[in-house]
Chain A
Amino acid sequence: MVGRIGRRSDSTGPNVLLVEDGVLLRLLVSEYLSESGFCITDVADADEALDVLKAGFPIDVVFTDLHMPRGKVDGLGLARWIRLHRPELKVILASGIMCDASPTFEPLHYGPILRKPYDNGELERQLWAAITERATPPRASL
């Protein structure tokens, strides 16, 4: 079952799953990205995001908050699930908590981390970069 919100914008652009537990921020980011040409599906927690992904919604990139106390899994749990079950999906993470920049910091293995408060333009650039990377098939090793 898709979560109780799972609002989807009408744009025909790349599909972004937005996972953010702050309702005001979620609505604002969703509106901004829709106006920037992305087709946004927004949900309030990682459980709902998993429902959307398991239901087979067309998604190109997942943009998720890391720290979401609500629900059974948080943003990190969602990123782990995606790596395991949908490795073709690109993930961008957002966090308000100080992030360790060392390569051993686990969330960095799943995608870039945007520090809150993040810049709209930076978010958009990261999304386009992820979509471009996804569209470019990896070169076969010789």
Chain B
Amino acid sequence: MAVEFVKGMARLGNRLPAWGRYAATVAIVLACFLVGQLAGVSPTEQSCLLCLPVILFCSLLFRRNSGFVAAGLSVLLLAFQGLRASRSGVDAFLQSHLPPVLIFAVASVVIAALAKALLGHVDELTRTAESLRSADAKKSLMLEDINHRIKNHLASVSMLLARSSRKVESIDEARDEFKAAATRIAVLAKVYDSLQMNGTQTTIGIQDFVESLCRNLHASVADGRQIAIKADADDVELGTDRAVAIGLLINELVQNALKYAFPDDRPGEIRVEYKRDGAGWRLVVADNGVGVGKQGPGWGQRLVRAIVADLGASISWHGPPGTQVHVTATRETGIS
């Protein structure tokens, strides 16, 4: 309640410019002394009953250093009143009026300082409350976004597994199908490791994402073969959908290389690059294998073509020696 009252007063005073606040402070203090004179109150009553409340009022209403201005002016006016009342001269003033004026000066400065400190705390509390509200709203948006993605990804996982179960006719086929499904699911899962909130959108730091994906691919797919998978990605933030698309592309292209480029367990290296390129970007998956070039019309290739189209990009195969797949987009179009 008290905080609300102070905030309400502060809002009122905040509408005035700085000079207006000081001018209003001076006017109120002068009016207070005029009222005191007209009412014929004593200097003690003047200082305690009128000046101290006015100093507090000005401090809270006009903020900045208005309290100190009110205090200083009140001290001067009280001293002037005292001097005028001391008909026998300065000595009499120093003896009888100066001590109460000094006590009043100290009390008024303390009140002005306390009021300023109180307002500082109120401001800090207000800022904290606002930042908590904003963090809460951000969290709700992020939860909604993640919830939507999880449901989409679960739908994909469910369909992937259903597809794998439809396609198998032998144990070997089943193993290959479910292994391929598992690596695609792993790409979807990896997204949640690198998810960040950027404004109201979730984004992915593509450098960490690509590196982590390549480590994962090496561990789960290379199966102890002497094949290195090296990642080199620019440190950029991508929208989650685009990151998923890039991740799925990398997964398919690396899997192709692992499957066909290194027959007879020969050692080799696969390089994955994601770079900014002018207004667009470039993804390169290159191997130093036997140079198999473009693969046939399998489902993985359909997925690659669909992703490339969704990204508004183009794809080209180069080699031998080895195979280099370039996916390039000249503009940031398609999935964001």
Write the nearest CB–CB distance from B330 to chain A, whole angstroms: 15
Q: Which of A28-36, A79-87, A104-112, A127-135 lies at the interface with chain B?
A: A28-36
Residue of A23, A31, A116 near B151 (CB, 8 A) is A116
State how many residues of chain B have any CB contact under 8 Å with chain A.
Answer: 34
Write the nearest CB–CB distance from B56 to chain A, whole angstroms: 53
Most chain A CB within a 10 A radius of its CB, from B156, B188, B244: B156
* Residues B156 and A70 in contact, CB atoms below 8 Å apart: no
* Residues A32 and B158 in contact, CB atoms below 8 Å apart: no
Write the nearest CB–CB distance from B185 to chain A, whole angstroms: 10
* Residues B162 and A5 in contact, CB atoms below 8 Å apart: no
Tell me, yes or no, whether A47 is within 8 Å of chain B by CB. Answer: no
CB within 8 Å of A: which B268-320 residues: 299, 302-303, 306-307, 309-310, 312
Residue of B155, B244, B299, B306 near A117 (CB, 8 A) is B155
Tell me, yes or no, whether A27 is within 8 Å of chain B by CB. Answer: yes
Tell me, yes or no, whether B132 is within 8 Å of chain A by CB. Answer: no
* Residues A96 and B151 in contact, CB atoms below 8 Å apart: yes
* Residues A23 and B307 in contact, CB atoms below 8 Å apart: yes
Tell me, yes or no, whether A1 is within 8 Å of chain B by CB. Answer: no
Whole-angstrom CA separation of A28 from B335 in the bound complex: 18
Tell me, yes or no, whether B154 is within 8 Å of chain A by CB. Answer: yes
- Known A-B contacts A21-B241, A23-B306; A31 and B154 likewise in contact (beta carbons under 8 Å): no
One digit per residue, 1 when the CB lies within 8 angstroms of any chain B CB and 0 when it does not, for chain A 13-47 equals 00000000111111111011001000000001000
Residue of A28, A97, A115, A119 near B163 (CB, 8 A) is A28
Residue of B151, B154, B159, B244 near A32 (CB, 8 A) is B159
* Residues A97 and B144 in contact, CB atoms below 8 Å apart: yes
Tell me, yes or no, whether A120 is within 8 Å of chain B by CB. Answer: yes
Residue of A4, A22, A70, A97 near B336 (CB, 8 A) is A70
On chain A, the residues within 8 Å of B153 by CB distance are: 22
One digit per residue, 1 when the CB lies within 8 angstroms of any chain A CB and 0 when it does not, for chain B 155-170 equals 1111110110010000
A22 nearest CB neighbor, chain B only: B152
Whole-angstrom CA separation of A28 from B144 in the bound complex: 24
On chain A, the residues within 8 Å of B250 by CB distance are: none
* Residues B150 and A96 in contact, CB atoms below 8 Å apart: yes
On chain B, the residues within 8 Å of A22 by CB distance are: 152-153, 155-156, 241, 244
Tell me, yes or no, whether A67 is within 8 Å of chain B by CB. Answer: yes
* Residues B163 and A31 in contact, CB atoms below 8 Å apart: yes
Tell me, yes or no, whether B147 is within 8 Å of chain A by CB. Answer: yes
On chain B, the residues within 8 Å of A120 by CB distance are: 159, 162
- Known A-B contacts A118-B155, A120-B159; A96 and B147 likewise in contact (beta carbons under 8 Å): yes
A35 nearest CB neighbor, chain B only: B166
Write the nearest CB–CB distance from B329 to chain A, whole angstroms: 13
On chain B, the residues within 8 Å of A32 by CB distance are: 159, 162-163
Most chain A CB within a 10 A radius of its CB, from B144, B158, B307: B158
A3 nearest CB neighbor, chain B only: B309
One digit per residue, 1 when the CB lies within 8 angstroms of any chain B CB and 0 when it does not, for chain A 59-97 equals 000000001001000000000000000000000001111
On chain B, the residues within 8 Å of A25 by CB distance are: 152, 155-156, 159
Write the nearest CB–CB distance from B315 to chain A, whole angstroms: 14
* Residues B306 and A27 in contact, CB atoms below 8 Å apart: yes
On chain B, the residues within 8 Å of A95 by CB distance are: 151
A95 nearest CB neighbor, chain B only: B151
One digit per residue, 1 when the CB lies within 8 angstroms of any chain A CB and 0 when it does not, for chain B 19-43 equals 0000000000000000000000000
* Residues B248 and A96 in contact, CB atoms below 8 Å apart: no
On chain A, the residues within 8 Å of B306 by CB distance are: 5, 7, 23, 26-27
CB within 8 Å of A: which B85-137 residues: none
* Residues A28 and B248 in contact, CB atoms below 8 Å apart: no
- Known A-B contacts A116-B151, A117-B155, A117-B157; A24 and B309 likewise in contact (beta carbons under 8 Å): no
- Known A-B contacts A25-B159, A97-B148; A4 and B302 likewise in contact (beta carbons under 8 Å): no
Tell me, yes or no, whether B138 is within 8 Å of chain A by CB. Answer: no
Whole-angstrom CA separation of A7 from B310 in the bound complex: 12
A119 nearest CB neighbor, chain B only: B158
Apart from A67-B148, A117-B159, list 4 A-B contacts with CB within 8 A: A23-B303, A29-B159, A35-B166, A116-B151
A-B contact list, 16 entries, CB within 8 Å: A4-B312, A5-B306, A7-B306, A22-B244, A23-B306, A23-B307, A23-B335, A24-B184, A24-B303, A25-B152, A44-B335, A96-B150, A96-B151, A97-B147, A97-B151, A117-B151
Q: Rank and list the top 8 A-B pairs by shortest CB-CB distance, nearest first.
A: A96-B151, A28-B159, A117-B155, A116-B151, A117-B154, A116-B155, A117-B158, A25-B156
